[in-house]
Amino acid sequence: MDGQDTISTLFRAISDAEVQAVLSDQLMKLGQALADCFQRFRESNITPRASHQFELRIERIIREAARSFLQWCLGSLEIEQDDSMPGTIRYRDQSYRRLSSKTQHEKILTRFGNITLTRAVYRRGSRGKVIAPLEKALGIERGATPGAMDLVGRQVAAAGSSQNRCVEVIADRTGVKIGHEKLRKLTKMLADSMEPHREACQCEQLQKWIDQAEKNGKNIVLSVSRDGVSLGIAPFGYFEMASVATLSVFSEGKRLGTVYMAATPEENQATLSKQLTSLLSGIIRVRGEKLAKIVYVTDAGKVETGYWKAVLRKLYVDGCRIKIERVVDYYHASERLTIIADSLKLSTQQRSEWLGHVRKLMLADGGWGRVMRSIAKMEEIYGVKKAALEELEKAKRYLRRYRRFMNYAEQRGQGCPIGSGIVESACKQIVGERMKLSGMRWKRIGAQHVMSLRSILLSQTWQSTFIRMLEGFSPVVALNHSAAQ
């Protein structure tokens, strides 16, 4: 009702005849410009270079026509006479009073270039904040339309997008080169506005994958993973451990999809733990009965193990204990086998043959026990290098400590992943490919903005999250009229 009241009191009625008249004029100008462009092309020497320039000219002509039409459309919405507009409006529980005359807002970024809007403005109190109801109703924020914000956000979240690269791509798409400051402001606004909707949209995406697997009657497994990745922190250039987490849906051992989360360096990665627990609890709450199994697949790092002990092994959702099985990453276990092979007095060929044998043996039924017996036998027959004795014992302690999390044959038989490759790939995709380009160093807040946007993009939830953000913008409500329309 507030939105309807806003439209009826702030915006004027536009007749079909008015629209048709403007459109006819625009199309006539467009047609003439295209005809002139083609005539110039025909009169020149027809070469690949001329063909290229011809295409670029057509692109510029059409972009300018779209920009001009969009500017008229948005600029024609508001009531023309100032005194016909409401004297007072309410926005975010604050009252604003109309100023005496309309003002222009230049260089509003759109997908077709910059436009200028002449619109009424309202001020809170005598010297407070000034807003334009037309821009709030249209979703224009930080000098950009929703269409432009969508374009900018996707580019900021894309792999390899340094600030300069973002500016170049946006200029190529819109014909307008924006400054780094405007780019950072738009990035901050998008991250701050989209993050509150991230979890709900990721939960919906996980539900879609689970429902997709259920239609085929497949065994459905939810895999939880997390890991750390170094990130260069400004201004001193030292590196700290950022955190990344994933939730993946598997059906008969095949991954259907993954959602991503990431957080800047923090002691014990508390923020990521909170986000991961909340999303995991949410999907269990709505689709838990359809999951055959939930597994936690990570290496045996301090934070990863601490999260298992503190949260996952005793997780309750709505008063019900949730069974989650832990799997220590097979490839980290294999690294310990490599250390043990290097510690034995073996020839190069013997080392290669035995290492290949025990790696396969670890994946077989009863694999852990058979591997440990093989290690003991090799020590007895060939002996251990004196200098490598400490490393050998350390590797064996690792295998003994995490024995109960190395039932790889059983996990594979139930369609569960046994490696943390997904989250390690996530570290590369979220941080490595976007935030560790040559010379990059980050302030924590700026890094979090980019990580949030990139996580949403990689989770295949950009569109739904962006739409929720737009729907969450506060409406402008008219309180009174200074004159009848």
| pTM, 2 dp | 0.91
pLDDT of 1 over the 90 cut: no
pLDDT of 9 over the 80 cut: no
pLDDT of 367 over the 90 cut: yes
Residues 280-299 have pLDDT tens digits of 999 999 999 999 999 999 99
Mean pLDDT for the stretch of residues 50-60: 96
pLDDT of 369 over the 90 cut: yes
pLDDT higher at 307 or 81: 307
Task: Flag the least confident range among 78-82, 86-90, 465-469, 472-476.
Answer: 78-82
Residues 217-270 have pLDDT tens digits of 779 999 999 999 999 998 888 899 999 999 999 999 999 999 999 999 998 899
pLDDT of 480 reads 55
pLDDT of 2 over the 50 cut: no
Alpha carbon distance 424, 228 (integer Å): 9
pLDDT of 329 reads 96
Per-domain residue ranges of the chain: 2-138, 197-328+414-455, 331-405
Intra-chain end-to-end CA distance of the chain, in Å = 19
pLDDT of 483 reads 37
DSSP bridge pairs for 457: none
Q: Extract the tokens encoding 485.
A: 């329309």
Mean pLDDT for the stretch of residues 192-200: 97
- Give 144's Cβ-side CA count (13 Å radius): 24
Average pLDDT along the chain: 93
Please, what is the Cα angle at 194 between 191 and 198, to 5 degrees? 115
Helix axes 180-215, 444-458, angle to 10 degrees: 40
pLDDT of 408 reads 96
Mean pLDDT for the stretch of residues 142-154: 97
Mean pLDDT for the stretch of residues 392-416: 95
pLDDT of 299 reads 94
pLDDT of 8 over the 50 cut: yes
Mean pLDDT for the stretch of residues 41-58: 95
pLDDT-derived band at 485, boundaries 50, 70, 90: very low
pLDDT higher at 466 or 216: 466
Mean pLDDT for the stretch of residues 453-465: 98
Mean pLDDT for the stretch of residues 202-216: 95
Mean pLDDT for the stretch of residues 373-378: 96
pLDDT of 484 over the 70 cut: no
pLDDT of 451 reads 97
HEC string for the chain: CHHHHHHHHHECCCCHHHHHHHHHHHHHHHHHHHHHHHHHHHHCCCCHHHHHHHHHHHHHHHHHHHHHHHHHHHHCCECCCHHHCCCEEEECCEEEEECCCCEEEEEEEECCEEEEEEECCEECCCCCCEECHHHHHHCCECCECHHHHHHHHHHHHCCCCCHHHHHHHHHHHHCCCCCHHHHHHHHHHHHHHHHHHHHHHHHHHHHHHHHHHHHCCCCEEEEEEEEEEEEEECCCCEEEEEEEEEEEEEECCEEEEEEEEEECCCHHHHHHHHHHHHHHHHHHHHHHHHCCEEEEEECCCHHHHHHHHHCHHHCEECCEECCCEEEECHHHHHHHHHHHHHHECCCHHHHHHHHHHHHHHHCCCCHHHHHHHHHHHHHHHHCECHHHHHHHHHHHHHHHHCHHHCCHHHHHHCCCCCCCHHHHHHHHHHHHHHHCCCCCCECHHHHHHHHHHHHHHHCCCHHHHHHHHHHCCCCEEEEECCCCC
DSSP bridge pairs for 251: 220, 254
Residues 87-97 have pLDDT tens digits of 899 999 899 99
pLDDT of 308 reads 97
Mean pLDDT for the stretch of residues 322-339: 96
List b or e across 146-163, with b for residues whose CB sees 16 or more CB atoms inside 10 angstroms: bebbbbbbbbbbbeebee
pLDDT of 237 reads 80
pLDDT higher at 108 or 93: 108
